[in-house]
Amino acid sequence: MPTADAAVGPRGARQLHVRRVIAETDDAASFALEMPDDESFRYRPGQYLTVQVPSSQTGSVARCYSLASSPHEDAELIVTVKRTDSGYASNWLCDNVSAGDTLTVLPPSGRFTPASFDNDLLLFAGGSGITPVYSIARSALSQGKATITLFYANRHERSVIFARAIDELARAHPERLEVVHWLESVQGIPDRGAVRELARRRPGRQAFICGPGPFMSGVAAALEESGMSHKNIHREVFTSLSGNPFEESTEPEPTVDEPGTEGGVLTEVDLDGQTHVVDWPRGKTLVDVLLAKDIDVPYMCKDGECGSCQATIEQGSATMLRNDILDEEDIADGYLLTCQAVPQGDDPIRIVF
């Protein structure tokens, strides 16, 4: 059996032992995985793991699950999975995985994470959307100075994931953590007016939203109606992957020209504190260009579905071949999926990750 430190597939995939399975609610469970001795598995609060799930039809499928654990508080990687009626992967995991089993996962990914734990936060979670939000809250309370309001919506009291742990966290930090529970069985669908009022009374905060699509859209709209800048509103946007990043790619390695050669656009890329200058050929995505230059660019699916490659264009122009997750306001603010982005025009481009 491969060890957790041994690569078992493309993209740095590892087989990790399941140490514990915790029943959170009637339809949700947490899986505590061993932490490999591998820098690629160091993660930030709000990131997710991509998990390989066996399938009799396709061999396997890949699904993304947010990490509920805090890198500052836990020695394990913990993902929480809620069953859905039509969710093959979520039901398979909850029905078949026990302590002692192994799961094949890719290194943590995602950009749904605060830039600073000292900035006050408004956190919104709907159902299982609590998973990354819980990680962010715990990390901010232990590592920073942020004052936090958590708005947590569920259908009924029995469906509240981490209910006891959140109550204990609020009691331990009464001056810094405020929890607002919203139960559909009691109060109905979350009210945009209530969200607007909550935000107006707590100005100047960064907002992070995770949950079902309609929940995130409604909360984001209410926050903008309250006067919050769109740039201060962050949504977790990955979807179920149609491709399988655990399979070896059959695509030929891309080749690119040197900066300044004919046919491309001179592009400056700021990534992880370094600036790279590349010639971005027309028709090639930026992720492919950077990979061909051996630049470690963040990406996962290369299909425009997960948001891992999201960056901001600060100069020049580019368009996306496909976009399933960014809305019109995101695009207007300069966000783009670099695995789908191709250059437009002739003016130099500047991209910031």
- Dump pLDDT digits (tens) for 71-129: 999 999 999 999 998 889 999 999 999 999 999 999 999 889 999 999 999 999 999 99
Write down the pLDDT at residue 7: 55
Query: Which overall architecture, per CATH, does domain 121-235 show?
Result: 3-Layer(aba) Sandwich (3.40)
- Percentage of the chain beyond pLDDT 70 is 91
Q: How confident is the model at residue 6 (pLDDT cuts 50, 70, 90)?
A: low
Write down the pLDDT at residue 239: 65
Once rounded to an integer, what is the mean pLDDT over residues 283-305?
91
Residue type for position 7: A
What would the two tokens of residue 305 be?
A: 């579905």
**199: number of CA atoms within 13 Å, CB side?**
26
Tell me: domain 10-109, CATH 2.40.30.10, correct?
A: yes
Lowest mean pLDDT among 26-30, 57-61, 70-74, 99-103: 57-61
The residue count for the chain = 353
Q: How confident is the model at residue 133 (pLDDT cuts 50, 70, 90)?
A: very high
Once rounded to an integer, what is the mean pLDDT over residues 258-265?
60
Lowest mean pLDDT among 148-152, 168-172, 232-236: 232-236
pTM for this entry: 0.84
Once rounded to an integer, what is the mean pLDDT over residues 180-191?
96
What would the two tokens of residue 23 be?
A: 């029943």
- Would you list the domain boundaries of the chain? 10-109, 121-235, 264-352
* Helix, strand, coil % in the chain, rounded to nearest 5: 25, 35, 40
- Percentage of the chain beyond pLDDT 90 is 76
pLDDT(15) > 70: yes
Fold (topology level) of 264-352 = Ubiquitin-like (UB roll) (3.10.20)
The residue assigned the tokens 């309370």 is 141
What would the two tokens of residue 342 be?
A: 């191709």
pLDDT tens sequence across 165-184: 999 999 999 999 999 999 99
pLDDT(261) > 70: no
Once rounded to an integer, what is the mean pLDDT over residues 178-201?
96
